[in-house]
Structure 1
Amino acid sequence: MKKPFRYLVPAKVAALALVATSAMADTVKIAVIDPLSGPFAALGENQLKSWQFMGEVANKEKWAGEHTLEFVAFDNKASPQESLNQLKRAIDGGFRYIAQANGSGAGLALIDAINKYNERNPGKEVIYINHGAVDPELTNGKCSFWHFSFDSNSDMKMQALVEHMSQNKSIKKVYIIGQDYAFGRSVSRTAKEYLKGKRPDVEIVGDDLHPIGQVKDFAPYVSKIKASGADTVITGNWGADLSLLIKASKDAGVDANFYTYYAVLKGAPTAMGSAGAGKVKYVGVWNVNNESGAGKDIVEAFKAKFNDDYTWMQTHSAVTMLSKAIREAKTTDPVKVALKMEGMTVKSLNGDVTMRAADHQLQQPLYIAVWSKAGDKDVRFDQEGTGFGWKTEKKVPAEVATQPTACKMKRPAS
Structure 2
Amino acid sequence: MPRPDHTRPVRRLAALAACGLLAVGCAQAGTAGTGSADTGSKAPIKVGLVYSKTGPLAAYGKQYLEGFKAGLAYATKGTGAVAGHPVELAEQDDAGDPAKAVSGAKDLIGKGYRVLAGSTASGVALQVGPIAAQNKVLFISGPAAADKVTGLNRYTFRSGRQSYQDIRAAASFIGKDAQGRKVTVLAQDNAFGQANVAAVKAVLGAEGATVDAVLAPPSATDLTPFAGQAKAGRPDLLFVAWAGDTAAALWTSLTQQDVFAATRVVTGLDLAASYPLFGPAGEKISFLDHYFAGAAGSNEVEVAMTDAVTKAGSKPDIFTPDGFTAAQMVVHALEAAKGSDADTDALVKALEGWSFDGVKGRLTVRAEDHALLQPMFQVKLTGTGAAARPGVVNTLPADQVAPPVTPMAG
TM-score band, normalised by shorter chain: 0.7 to 0.9
1:132 and 2:143 matched: yes
Written as runs of structure 1 = structure 2, the 5 A alignment for 1:222-301 is: 222-230=223-231, 233-235=238-240, 241=243, 244-252=245-253, 254=255, 255-256=259-260, 258-261=265-268, 263-265=269-271, 267-272=273-278, 275-279=281-285, 281-284=287-290, 288-291=294-297, 293-294=299-300, 295-301=302-308
Range with bigger deviation, 126-135 or 295-304? 295-304
Aligned to 2:312: 305
What SS does structure 1 have at the residue aligned with 2:239?
Answer: strand
Conserved? CA contact 1:166–1:199, under 8 Å = no
Q: How far is 1:283 from its partner?
A: 2.9
Task: Report Cα offsets for 1:295-349 as digits up to 9, x if no partner.
Answer: 1343244234333333321222222232122112212333322221111121112
Q: Which residue of 1 aligns with 2:162?
A: 153
Distance 1:165 1:91, change over 3 A: same
In structure 2, C-alpha distance between the alignment counterparts of 1:103 and 1:178, rounded to whole Å: 19
Flag the structure with higher helix content.
1
TM-score using structure 1 length: 0.73
The code of the aligned residue for 2:322 comes to Q
CA distance in 2: counterparts of 1:81 and 1:21, whole angstroms: 38
What's the secondary structure of 2:228's corresponding residue? helix
Cα shift at 1:39: 2.6
Q: CA 1:370–1:287 in structure 2 vs 1: closer, same or farther (change >3 Å)?
A: farther
Amino acid at match of 2:55: G
Runs of at least 5 residues in structure 2 that lack an aligned partner in the other structure = 1-37
Moved more, 353-362 or 79-88: 79-88
Give the 3-state SS of the residue equivalent to 2:284 in structure 1.
Answer: coil
Q: Structure 1 residue 274: deviation in Å?
A: 5.3
Which digits, 9 at most, give the CA deviation of each residue in 1:261-300, with x for residues without a partner?
4x23253224335541232512326762334545134324
Counterpart position of 1:364: 374
Specify the alignment match of 1:46 in structure 2: 63
Q: Which amino acid in structure 1 is aligned with residue 305 of structure 2?
A: I
Instruction: Find the aligned partners of 1:87 and 1:48 in 2 and give their Cα distance.
Output: 17
Partner amino acid, structure 2, of 1:394: N
Can you give the 5+ residue segments of structure 1 that lack an aligned partner in the other structure? 1-19, 119-124, 211-216, 375-384
Q: Highest relative contact order (Cα 8 Å, sep 6+), 1 or 2? A: 2
Contact 2:334 2:347 (C-alpha < 8 Å) held by counterparts: yes
1:229/1:352 Cα in 2 relative to 1: closer, same or farther (>3 Å)? closer
Structure number with bigger Rg: 1
Does the Cα contact within 8 Å between 1:320 and 1:346 map onto a contact in 2? no
Preserved CA contact (<8 Å) 1:234 1:259: yes
Task: Report if the CA contact (8 A) 2:119-2:143 is conserved.
Answer: yes
- Native 8 Å contact 1:326 1:332 kept in 2: yes
> Within 2, Cα distance between the matches of 1:218 and 1:74?
36
1:133-168 CA-partner distances (Å, limit 9, x unpaired): 22222224xx20110022222123212321323479
Return closer, same or farther for 1:316/1:366 CA change in 2, 3 Å cut-off.
same
Distance in 2 separating the partners of 1:329 and 1:366: 32
C-alpha distance in 1, partners of 2:366/2:389?
A: 32
Partner in structure 1 of residue 132 of structure 2:
114
Give the match for residue 323 of structure 1. Answer: 331
Task: State how far apart, in whole Å, the 2-side matches of 1:321 and 1:115 are.
Answer: 18
* CA-CA distance at 1:198 after TM superposition: 5.3
Q: Which residue of 1 aligns with 2:117?
A: 99
The 1-side partners of 2:265 and 2:87 are apart by 38
Distance 2:156 2:198 in 1: 24
- TM-score, normalising length: structure 2: 0.74
Q: Give the C-alpha shift of residue 66 in structure 1.
A: 2.6
- Aligned to 2:140, what secondary structure does the other structure show? strand
Deviation at 1:372, TM superposition (A): 2.3
